[in-house]
Every structure is written in C-alpha cells, then in structure tokens.
Structure 1
Amino acid sequence: MSLFPDRVETERLDFRAVGSDAADLDPLDYYRVCSRGEPGIERVTEYMTWSPHETPKETAEYLAHAAEQREQNEGITYIIRPKEDEDGAGDIAGSAGFQVDWDRRVATLGMWLRKPFWGRGYSGERAEAMCDVAFETLDLDVVAVTHDPENEPSKRAIEKYVDRLGGRREGVIRNDIVISGDPRDSVRYSISREEYAVRRPPKAAENRD
C-alpha cells in the first residue's frame, strides 16, 4: 500500500500521483511535454539527470518506474497542473516529488517545469506542499534539495524558499550526480522538521486521498 497522498492541492496548483487513480494521465500527453518536440526542452533539461524522451515507449517506462516506486514507498512523482484562473489551467506544467531514505528519515525533492511556467513562483509553492507531506504525513525529519552549481535560476528559487521555511545551505557535494555521462557537483540545502514547524505557512497544502 502506498503511503503517499494520491492528490495534493495548493492555492494555485494541483498535484496528482503517477500510478494512482487520481493521476488521470495519458502517457502520450506526458511524452508530448518531455520529448524533443516540446519548445525549450533542451533548456529545461540542461541541468537535469534525464534527457528529452526519444519515444513514447521511453515515457511509458519512466511512468511505470515512478508508479513502482510509489507502490514500494521509495518515492513519489506528482504531475503538476495549474488550477483554474492560472494561465495554462489544466495543462501539464511538469512534475514534482521526492525520494525517501527511510533509514535516514530524509526526503530529497525534485522538480521540473516546462518553460512557459517558469517565473511564477511555483517552485516555492511546490516545496511547501512537499514539506507538508514529508513532515506531517510521513513523519520524516529532514527535507533536502540540491541544484547544479551553474544553475542560477534554481539557485535563486531554492535559496528563497529554503530561507523562508527556516532551512539552510549545507555546502557542495562533489561528483554527486551524473548529467549526460559526466559527473557533476551539486549544492545541498536542507530543512528540518523543527525549522519547518516554526516557519510553516498557515496552510501549505491540502491532501486529498
């Protein structure tokens, strides 16, 4: 049985878990937004550990893997859709979620957004929602997030919400990830349960199972 909420809502965003009945996801729709035909996809994936999908089969395999991780409680992937009154309401904006290390009681966040949805503050809104799930639902102790040292937009977004939620920058982890076959450093930040409890927004997210 999956421990993760099937659906999470914030003021502007709707998150639905891949592999759940709530997902309402056609794999071909997801392929459309993460394949080479998507405008700006090369920029989107520049600092990601994945490359634009080459075939619908690759997308289907990725979604099946995400669903398996959910069922095994190793991690969760949510499809992000803006709510009504947002530009692009109902369309796939990207995905977000986290991996769980149960032994260390740590959730490590991840997210990507299509280029038309950049600059709206969605990263921080999503981080608050995922922190809520990690701390309030899963009883974890730490939420961590990293970015490539050269990824300035991610750096600015992460620093902004980590500071707002009471967390801190921990430092550079050498050769932490691999992008296009090359090892890369990453910069790590973390937020503890205690820090979040002090700075937590009044209502970060609403879980809807």
Structure 2
Amino acid sequence: MFPEVIETKRLRLERCCRERVSPRALYAAAGTSPTIDAETEYLPWSPLDTLADAEERLAEFERQWDDRERAEWVVRPRNGEPGAGEFAGTAGLICRWDRDLALPAIWLRKPFWGRGYSGERADALLSVAFDRLDVGVAAVPIHGENDRSYSAVEQYVERHGGRYEGRLRNHAGRYDEPADHHRFSVSREEWRAADGAETTVRFPEDHTDSASDW
C-alpha cells in the first residue's frame, strides 16, 4: 500500500527497514550523533541509548508498515545535492484510518537544515496521502515552542490550500511533561484545488523508465 521508494527533484525517500538501513547506521545518526539533542528538542521521541534500541525501532517501523499504521522512510539527498546519498533523516506518515486522517512527520539531521527539504518532503507525503491512500485530511502538529518548524509548515500548508487551526494547550507530552501543539491541516479537496496533484513526485517501482528522467 505504501510506496517503497519516493523521489522528488532533490530527495530520495526509501523505506526505513533493516533491509535498507542497518541498526548501526540508525544508531550513529539517532543516538551517538553530536547534534542529536538539538535535532530532537521538539520531537516526541528521545535519542537512542543503545544499538539494541536502534534494532527495536527498525523492527517497530516494519511492524507498523505491515499493519498499515505508519510508513517511515529514510531521507537521502539525490545526486547533485550536497551530501548525496547520506542519511539525512527520516520522514513518516501516520495513518488514523478511523478518523480519515494522516499525520506527516519529519526528522532532519542538522547538517541538512535550511535547504527547504521539509517542504519538499511534505509535497511528496501529501501526494501519497491524498492520491494513493485517498485520505480526507492531513494534519501537522508542531510543538508549541518550535518556531523554526512553525514557519516552514505555515509556508507549505498555505501553498497547498490548508489552514492554521490554532494552539492546543497541553495536547501532547515531551519527556513526560505536558506540551502545547500548534495544528495545521489540509483537506484532500483543498490540496486538489491548489493544484497539489501537479506536485513532481515519482514512485520508481511504478515505472519501467529511468527514475532519474525528469
């Protein structure tokens, strides 16, 4: 149901599983990296403590994928981008089928900040949510103090015809402490009216032609 590989102009998203990512590679990026604390400051998960934690996280991603609860992809810059092929972070799509809702998520490593990758990844995941999964609404929750992400999300949500819904007090938790959430959302109809269907996204397994032929 979920595409194994997604390609945009500058990014390649590959399924985050043990077949494609070793636990050691994930642990190096999400556990022992010197920038991981800054990267996860406003995220709902903590840095990995051990290599075994990395193994467990990959196994959980695989279970969620198979159960159609969540798709998680590794983000890699494509050829021609600085750091091409490197592990730049992960992108996720959480599915709440009972609410006709999808929740896009992202974690980017600090060396890849400031390139506009978050918006490009959002374009791709909204295409997956609305075109392939036929979900009615995509919602983006952001930690109440995460000003950097707020600005980025505001831009791509407005571009896709969506809206800011407000600040939800004590809506989430972070290290067992309550936290506020900003919430943005885009409906399938808003996305289509804003020409979201014209987003340049490729799913290489759907084609027999060259995946690099844009």
Structure 1 residue 20: Cα displacement:
8.0
For the aligned residue pairs, the C-alpha RMSD in angstroms reads 1.3
Equivalent position of 1:11 in the other structure: 9
Equivalent position of 1:45 in the other structure: 40
Structure 1 residue 208: Cα displacement:
2.8
TM-score, normalised with respect to structure 2:
0.92
Equivalent position of 1:176 in the other structure: 171
Amino acid across the alignment from 2:40: T
List structure 1 runs of 4+ shifted beyond 4 angstroms: none
Counterpart selection for 2:193 from 191, 194, 198: 198
Number of positions where the alignment pairs a residue of Structure 1 with one of Structure 2:
204
Write the distance in 1 (CA, Å) between the matches of 2:142 and 2:187.
18
Equivalent position of 2:208 in the other structure: none
Contact (CA 8 Å) 1:19, 1:70: kept in 2 or not?
no
Structure 1 residue 195: Cα displacement:
0.8
* Per-residue deviation, residues 135-171 of structure 1 (Å, max 9, x unmatched): 0000111111011111110001000111111100011
Alignment of 1:123 onto 2:118: yes
Contact (CA 8 Å) 1:80, 1:95: kept in 2 or not?
yes
Helix, strand or coil at the partner of 1:90: coil
Closer/same/farther in 2, CA of residues 194 and 20 from structure 1, 3 Å limit: farther
Structure 1 residue 52: Cα displacement:
1.2
Any gaps of 5 or more consecutive residues in structure 2?
Answer: 206-214
Give percent identity, aligned residues only. 41
Within-5 A mapping of 1:11-160? 11-19=9-17, 24-35=20-31, 37-160=32-155
Helix, strand or coil at the partner of 1:188: strand
Write the distance in 1 (CA, Å) between the matches of 2:192 and 2:122.
14
